[in-house]
């Protein structure tokens, strides 16, 4: 079993230049000549306006101990305060793309939105959240392969 990334698509964000300027508050924004699909926490990819960018937090300390998940960072420091997205599960301006899609398919699914690519959450991070009694944020893990629970769950009623 593997945990794959769950990317975010921000819709109706305005002009790309304004988006990049807004993001440059909490993040360093650097252009990239190739697709950015992060493999470790604390770095994000952004595809907007037909171009890829690498995003890194200006204060990366939160990622040093593995306590802050990438999706939490984006929600608490970007989508919430900068775009007023309080509930990522229900806000129509935020969409999610999970799994092992390649960069071309991710860009196609993002259409006119700004695609934020994230590293997959590690099993260690999942365990840390569970051990602390926490709950994983919505759309933070994409497990592959999906379990067919009917094959692995047995009735406790003895039947």
* pLDDT digits 0-9 by tens, 122-134: 888 888 888 888 8
Domain contains 11: yes
Q: How far is it, in rounded angstroms, from Cα 68 to Cα 36? A: 21
Domain contains 43: yes
Predicted pLDDT of residue 144? 64
Q: Are 69 and 140 in contact (CB under 8 A)?
A: yes
CB atoms within 10 A of CB 70: 27
CATH number at residue 57: 3.30.1760.10
Domain contains 80: yes
Closest CA to 100 of 39, 148, 47, 33: 39
* pLDDT digits 0-9 by tens, 98-108: 888 899 999 99
**Residue 103, token pair as written in the block:** 């960069």
**Residue 15, token pair as written in the block:** 């002009």
Query: How many structural domains are present in the chain?
Result: 1
- State the pTM of this model: 0.85
Domain contains 152: no
> What is the spatial order of strands in the sheet that 94-98 belongs to?
27-32, 51-57, 44-48, 114-117, 6-10, 94-98
Structural domain boundaries, residue 33? 2-147
Domain contains 153: no
């Amino acid at each position: 079993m593997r945990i794959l990334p769950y990317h975010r698509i921000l819709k109706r964000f305005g002009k790309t230049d304004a988006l990049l300027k807004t993001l440059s508050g909490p993040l360093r924004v650097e252009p990239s000549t190739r697709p950015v699909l992060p493999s470790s926490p604390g770095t994000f990819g952004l595809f907007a306006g037909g171009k890829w960018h690498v995003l890194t937090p200006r204060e990366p300390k939160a990622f040093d101990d593995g306590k802050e998940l990438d999706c939490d960072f984006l929600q608490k420091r970007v989508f919430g305060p900068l775009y007023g997205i309080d509930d990522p599960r229900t806000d129509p301006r935020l969409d999610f793309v999970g799994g092992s899609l390649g960069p071309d398919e991710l860009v196609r699914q993002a259409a006119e939105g700004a695609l934020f690519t994230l590293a997959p959450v590690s099993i260690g991070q999942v365990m840390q959240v569970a051990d602390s009694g926490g709950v994983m944020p919505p759309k933070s893990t994409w497990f592959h392969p999906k379990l067919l629970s009917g094959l692995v769950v047995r009735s406790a009623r003895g039947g």
